[in-house]
Amino acid sequence: MTTSTTQTSQIMETLGAQAKVAAQQLAQASTGQKNNALLKIREYLLSNKADILAANAIDMEAGEQNNLSPALLDRLALDESRIEAMAEGLSQIAKLPDPVGSINDMNTMPSGIQVGKMRVPIGVIGIIYESRPNVTIDAAALCLKSANACILRGGKEAMHSNKAIAKAISHGLQQAGLSPYCVQVIETTDRAMVTEMIQAEQFVDVIIPRGGKNLIAAISRDAKVPVIKHLDGICHVYIDDQADHDKAIAIAVNAKCRRFGICGSMETLLIHEAIASELLPELAKQYQQAGVELRGCDKTQVIISAVAATEEDWQTEYLGPILSIRVVTDIEQAMAHIAKYGSHHTDSIVTENYSRIQAFLRAVDSSSVMVNASTQFADGFEYGLGAEIGISTNKLHVRGPVGLEGLTTEKYIVLGDGTIRA
């Protein structure tokens, strides 16, 4: 199905205007009402598994006919346990504290006014994602709990699955007395809809893309609406010469090998030259056991067997079983390497030296800066956020794992008693 530009912009106008009205209503909804909606969606999902699986089967069949890759088909596939996982996610988000309405930093000023900040929803959030149908539920649930109306644009290949899930969401919203326009799933598969949405400043307050780097880069380039984005995770561990050896090995192995394909996995190991010949052989052994290919600088290659690392290696997010290793002369060179090649995602220092920890914490400009911990901890659940819509490598508004609070903003509230300004 294709639609003309006029049609897509009319669709966006309609969706946008409906979302704005729904957002005003949702901002006033009680915590109980929002939680009730989440639980009603959960119920409907569980009692309509068959319909959702049937819709998913249509997408899967089309995907196979269109020769989607096995990895893509796996992301697209639903089964009973994946539907149950979605339902469990809804329960968990219902249990989280409501971020909306909290009042912070209330102080009385010399004039007599009391000034504080109230946490409020952002408004309308546009979410653009690829093939995973479970994102439809996750994103809807997080937006609903944070009282934002959302417009969801999933992948074309998941359209039938998303429509079936949308039915559950719309049912739950209505059962809880909320407008079905609080969550709208775009059913037009036309790419032009994405362009419309990311430029619809009058309706959409923020865009959150979830997917591959190309999708996100294209959206960021063309968006007029602010984008909370995560481009890449070129994460480093720096092992200082004053590191505890056992901790260093445990962290360097875990940071790479626990999971290769997540954005918080280490892509480059930096190691102080005074400790390199002692630690690298043991590390190389463990990496070899885990099937990790090593690419090293000249000094690394003297100590262990490794392919020569190129300039490109330092700039690459492998997301797989490859690790680049560089021997550095000191913490300054390590930090300079991170500043030059890092992606401001997550970087860790392993050392027992107090002053170097302070320097690293202060100077490294990443969304998460770690000390004696594995970079694989970069995750909303591990940070206690309870849920996560993604990891932001933006500098403004929200940085690092984005939970419910990242989906809200603050406004000033001022309480007087007939107070006027002199």
Q: Which stretch binds a second copy (CB under 8 A): 7-15, 84-92, 323-331, 395-403?
A: 395-403
CA distance linking residue 62 with residue 102, whole number of Å:
47
Is residue 205 a contact point for a second copy (CB under 8 A)? yes
Q: Which of 300, 374, 387, 403 binds a second copy (CB under 8 A)?
A: 374
Tell me the closest approach of the beta carbon of residue 230 to a second copy, in angstroms.
14
Q: Which of 152, 370, 387, 402 binds a second copy (CB under 8 A)?
A: 370
**Please, which of residues 243-272 interact with a second copy by CB under 8 A?**
244, 246-248, 250-251, 253-255, 258
Is residue 367 a contact point for a second copy (CB under 8 A)? yes
* Residue among 262, 381, 267 at smallest CA distance from 318: 267
CA distance linking residue 47 with residue 63, whole number of Å:
26
Between strands 103-108 and 114-121, the pairing is antiparallel
Tell me the closest approach of the beta carbon of residue 282 to a second copy, in angstroms.
15
Distance of CA 327 to the CA centre of its chain: 32
Tell me the closest approach of the beta carbon of residue 362 to a second copy, in angstroms.
6
On whether the CB atoms of residues 154 and 135 are closer than 8 A, the answer is yes
Q: Which stretch binds a second copy (CB under 8 A): 2-10, 38-46, 207-215, 372-380?
A: 372-380
Q: Please say whether the dihedral angle defined by the alpha carbons of residues 202, 204, 206 and 210, taken in this order, is positive or negative.
A: negative
CA distance linking residue 138 with residue 164, whole number of Å:
15
**Please, which of residues 294-353 interact with a second copy by CB under 8 A?**
339, 348, 350
Between strands 235-239 and 307-308, the pairing is unpaired
Tell me the closest approach of the beta carbon of residue 341 to a second copy, in angstroms.
15
Is residue 399 a contact point for a second copy (CB under 8 A)? yes
Identify any residues that bridge with 108 across adjacent strands, giving them in sequence order: 114
Is residue 382 a contact point for a second copy (CB under 8 A)? yes
Tell me the closest approach of the beta carbon of residue 368 to a second copy, in angstroms.
4
Identify any residues that bridge with 390 across adjacent strands, giving them in sequence order: 402
- Nearer residue to a second copy within complex by CB, 155 or 380: 380
What is the size of the binding site for a second copy (CB under 8 A)?
68
Backbone φ and ψ for 336, nearest 5 degrees, come out as: -65, -40
Backbone φ and ψ for 398, nearest 5 degrees, come out as: -150, 135
Q: Which of 99, 123, 126, 133 binds a second copy (CB under 8 A)?
A: 123
DSSP three-state, residue 216: helix
Tell me the closest approach of the beta carbon of residue 56 to a second copy, in angstroms.
31
CA distance linking residue 312 with residue 295, whole number of Å:
11
Could you give the angle at which helices 31-47 and 159-175 cross, rounded to 10 degrees?
130
**Please, which of residues 23-62 interact with a second copy by CB under 8 A?**
24, 27-28
Q: Which of 373, 387, 402, 404 binds a second copy (CB under 8 A)?
A: 373
Buried b (16+ CB within 10 A) or exposed e, 54-80: ebbeebbeebeeeebeeebbebbbbee
Tell me the closest approach of the beta carbon of residue 67 to a second copy, in angstroms.
36
CA distance linking residue 114 with residue 34, whole number of Å:
30
Is residue 69 a contact point for a second copy (CB under 8 A)? no
**Please, which of residues 100-119 interact with a second copy by CB under 8 A?**
101, 107, 109, 111, 113, 115, 118
Is residue 148 a contact point for a second copy (CB under 8 A)? no
Q: Which of 41, 76, 87, 120 binds a second copy (CB under 8 A)?
A: 120
Is residue 206 a contact point for a second copy (CB under 8 A)? yes
Other C-beta atoms lying within 10 Å of the C-beta of residue 417 = 7
CA distance linking residue 358 with residue 372, whole number of Å:
13
Interacting residues toward a second copy by CB under 8 A: 24, 27-28, 101, 107, 109, 111, 113, 115, 118, 120, 122-123, 205-206, 226, 244, 246-248, 250-251, 253-255, 258, 339, 348, 350, 359, 361-363, 365-374, 376-378, 382-384, 395-397, 399-401, 409-421
